[in-house]
Structure 1
Amino acid sequence: MAPIRLLYIDDDPALRRLVSKEFERHGYSVQLAATGEEGLRRLRAGGIDVVALDHYMPGQDGLQTLGSIRADPDAPPVVYVTGSDEGRVAIAALKAGAADYVIKDVGGEFLALLRVAIEGALAQAKLRREKEEAEAEVRAARDRFESLAAERAVLLREVNHRVGNSLQLVSSFLLMQSDVSPDAHVKGALASAYGRVLAIAQVHKRLYTSDDVRTVALDNYLRALVADIGASAADDEWLSLAADPVAIDPDRAVAVGVIVTELIINAMKHAYPSGKGPVRVTLHAPSGGDIRLCVEDDGIGNRSRSAEGSTGLGQLIIEAMAVKLGAVVTVHASDGGTRVLVDFSGAEATRVVD
C-alpha cells in the first residue's frame, strides 16, 4: 500500500521537524513548507494527498493559503492547525473549506489528534469521490438510456411512416378498384375494405407525425378519419364529428377507428335507401371517467337492420374490435334512426387539456 503523502505548512522549524519525524514513523511520506507561498508551489507540483496548514504565518496567513488551495477543484483535503484557542479561527477555517481543525501545542501532544483528523479527512474525501463517481455513472447511464430511447422513438416513427405509406397505397388501390368495378356488390365490398385499411393507416400517420409514439390523440385521429371517409364519398357535408380531446394507446385507437369506420359504412349503406342523410359521430371523454363513442343517423332505423345483401361481416368486425377494446356496444334503433353507443374504460387514457 502506498504511503499517505502529507504536506505540512508551518513557519515553525521545530514543529516541522517534529511533525515530519512523527508522521514518517507512522509510514507517511512528509513534505514540508515554511510559508503559504512555498506550500502552494509544492502543492501545484502534484503528488500530495492531504495538507496540514498552520494559521499564523508571515506574509500569506493560513486562511489566505486555504482560499488559494480550495480554488483548485481537484485540491486535496486540508486540516487546519492553529495555536489559537479562539473558536472564531476554527469556524472561519471550516467555512473556508477546511475538512477539520486541530489546536496545536508546543509539546507535540496534538500530533495524535492531527493524525486522526488527517485520516478522517482522507476518508471523507474518498467517500465524496466515490459518491461523485457513482453519480457520474448514474448520469451517464441516464444519458445513454435517454439517447437510446430517443433513437428508438425515431426508429419507431420511421417504421410507422413506412407502414403508413404502404397502407395508404393499399387503400388507394382499393378505392381505385372500387371506382372502376361495374358490380355494385363488389364496389361496396371494396369501398368497405378501403375504409378499414384507412382506419389503420391513419393511426400510423398519427404516430410518425407525433413526438410521442406511445399514444394517439383520439380526437385528432377520428377527425382525420372522418374527413377521409367523407372525401371518399365525394361529399363530406353529411358526416360530422364532435370529440373531446383524449389520448389512448395505438392498439386501442385502431380498434376505435375500425368500429367508427364500420358504423359509418353501415349507415351509408342502409340508413338512407333513397339517398344520403346526416351521420353524426361524437366522442365524450370526461376527465377520469369512461369514454363513450356514439355514431347515429336519422335514417330508417329498425328496417335497416334487415337490409338485403348484408353479409354480416361488418357486425363481426365490430364485435371483434369491441372485445379488443373491452367495450360494450349498445344499439338503439327506431323508425327515427339508429344510435350506436360504444362505452369503454378511460382508465388508460390521458385527458388532453387545451
Structure 2
Amino acid sequence: MSDPLAVQPDAASAPPPPLRVLYVDDDPALGRLVQRQLGRLGFEVVPAFSGEDGLARLGTERFDVVALDHYMPGQDGMATLRAIRALENAPPVVYVTGAQDGRLAVAALKAGAADYVVKEVQADFIELLRAAFVLAVEQVRMRRAHEAAEAEIRAARDRFEALAAERALLLREMNHRVGNSLQIIVSLLNVQAGATEDPRVKEALNSARNRVSAVAQVHRRLYTSDQIATVALDQYIGSLLDDLQVSAHREHGGITLTYDADPIHIDPDRGVALGIIATELVINAMKYAYPDGEGPVRVKLKRMGDRLDFTVEDDGAGISPEKPATSTGLGNRIVKAMSMKLGCEPTFDPRERGTCVRLTFRLADRGKA
C-alpha cells in the first residue's frame, strides 16, 4: 500500500529545461569547445559559423541567448548585432571579442548587447560565458515580468477608470431624476398652498415645500457638478438663502438676509441636514424675530480647523424667558433631528437682544474617517 504522506511528483517541481545558446563564431574549433564545455554545465549550445548562418537559425529556432563574435568575414559581429536587435522578441546577445579594446565593448553595449566577454581560450572564459548567459537571461526575464506587471497595472487602472466613469454617470443620472421628482413635489405643494384659504394649512404646505426644496437643491447640484462625492456647502446654503430671500420680500418685506461663508465641501447627506436646518432657522427668524416686520437676519458658515461653525442670528425680540428653547413645534423637532445627523446639538448664545442659534460640528464625518 502506498504511503499517503509520500511526496507525489509534481510537474511544477520539475527542473527547468536547459538554456539554449546560439554561439556565432567563425572559429569551428572554438565553437565545438564551447559546445562541449557548456554542455557539461547543462547548456544546450548550437554553433553557427557566420553572421548570416546565425540569423538564419534565429529565424527558424528558439534560443534563450546568443553569443556573438566580433571579427567574422562578411557580416561582422556589430552588423549581426543590429540585425538581431531588429528581430521581434530578440534574445539577449553577449558580445564576444578577442580584442582588448574597451571602446569596442562600449560600442557593443550601446548597440544593444546585454554583456560582453573577452575571448581567451582559458578555463575562466567558459565560466565568464556561463555567468554572462545566466545574467542576460535573468535580466530579460525580469524585464518582461516588469513589463507584464506594468501592463496589468495599466489594464487594471483603465478598468477602474471605466467603472468609475460609469458609476459617476449613473449617480449623476440618479441625482437628475431624484432632483426632477422632488421639484415636481415642490411645484405640487406650491400649487396646493395657493389653492387653500386656510392660513394654517397654507403655512404648513409652504414649510413642507421649503424642506423638500432643500433636498432637491442638493440633487440638482450633484447632477451639474464634476464632484459626485461632495457638495459645495457654502454655495448650496447660499442658493437656499436666495430662495428664502425672495420669499422674505414677498411675505416679510422688511427682512434683510445676509450671508457670510467660507468655501467648504461636505458629503451630500450632511449637506442636506444642514440645508434643512438653515431653512428652518431662517424661516423661524423671519416669522418671529421682528413683530413689526423689519430687521436683519444674519447667516454665517465658518471653518475653524477641522470643525464648522454655523450660526443664524437676528436682533429681534429674542427667546421668551418662560420658554427659552423648549418649543415642541415640528420645526424645532426637525432641527434637533438633523443636528443629530451632524453629531451636534443646537445652542443658543446669550445675547442682550435678539437670538443666535449655533451649531458646531466636525468637517469630516466620524463614520467615514
Output the TM-score relative to the length of structure 1. Answer: 0.85
Counterpart of 1:254 in structure 2 is 272
Counterpart of 1:146 in structure 2 is 161
Deviations 1:88-123 (A, max 9, x none): 433443343322222222467623432332233222
Q: CA deviation at 1:218?
A: 0.5
Residue pairs, 1:100-179, within 5 angstroms: 100-106=115-121, 110-179=125-194
8 Å CA contact 2:336–2:345 kept in 1: the answer is no
Distance (Å, rounded) in 1 between the aligned partners of 2:342 and 2:358: 14
Residue pairs, 1:267-278, within 5 angstroms: 267-275=285-293, 277-278=295-296
Q: CA deviation at 1:27?
A: 6.3
Distance 1:188 1:305, change over 3 A: farther
SS of 1:343 mapped into structure 2 = strand
8 Å CA contact 1:302–1:335 kept in 2: the answer is no
Distance 1:197 1:336, change over 3 A: same
1:300 aligns with 2:343: no
For 1:200, give the aligned amino acid: V
1:316 aligns with 2:318: no
Q: CA deviation at 1:256?
A: 0.8
Stretch moving more, 88-97 or 122-131: 88-97
Counterpart of 2:9 in structure 1 is none
Distance (Å, rounded) in 1 between the aligned partners of 2:318 and 2:232: 32
Residue pairs, 1:1-354, within 5 angstroms: 4-23=19-38, 30-45=45-60, 47-72=62-87, 74-106=89-121, 110-233=125-248, 235=250, 238-275=256-293, 277-286=295-304, 288-303=305-320, 312-332=329-349, 336-347=353-364
Distance (Å, rounded) in 1 between the aligned partners of 2:119 and 2:308: 77
Q: CA deviation at 1:297?
A: 2.3
8 Å CA contact 1:300–1:335 kept in 2: the answer is no
8 Å CA contact 2:248–2:286 kept in 1: the answer is no
SS of 1:339 mapped into structure 2 = strand
Counterpart of 2:12 in structure 1 is none
8 Å CA contact 1:18–1:108 kept in 2: the answer is no
Distance 1:120 1:334, change over 3 A: closer
Distance 1:298 1:109, change over 3 A: closer
User: RCO greater where, 1 or 2, for CA within 8 Å and sep 6 or more?
Assistant: 1
Q: CA deviation at 1:37?
A: 4.5
SS of 1:129 mapped into structure 2 = helix
SS of 2:335 mapped into structure 1 = helix
Counterpart of 1:352 in structure 2 is none
Distance 1:182 1:60, change over 3 A: same
8 Å CA contact 1:161–1:205 kept in 2: the answer is yes
SS of 1:133 mapped into structure 2 = helix
Structure 2: 5+ residue stretches without partners: 1-15
Distance (Å, rounded) in 1 between the aligned partners of 2:103 and 2:266: 64
Distance (Å, rounded) in 1 between the aligned partners of 2:349 and 2:132: 85
Distance 1:137 1:162, change over 3 A: same
SS of 2:211 mapped into structure 1 = helix
SS of 1:283 mapped into structure 2 = strand
> How many residues end up aligned between the 2 structures?
346
Deviations 1:156-190 (A, max 9, x none): 11111111111111112112211221111111111
Output the TM-score relative to the length of structure 2. Answer: 0.82
SS of 1:319 mapped into structure 2 = helix
State the superposition RMSD in angstroms: 3.0
Structure 1: 5+ residue stretches without partners: 350-354
For 1:245, give the aligned amino acid: P
For 2:336, give the aligned amino acid: E
Q: CA deviation at 1:254?
A: 0.9
Distance 1:17 1:305, change over 3 A: farther
Distance (Å, rounded) in 2 between the aligned partners of 1:340 and 1:71: 77
Distance (Å, rounded) in 2 between the aligned partners of 1:37 and 1:96: 18
For 2:116, give the aligned amino acid: Y
8 Å CA contact 1:299–1:337 kept in 2: the answer is yes
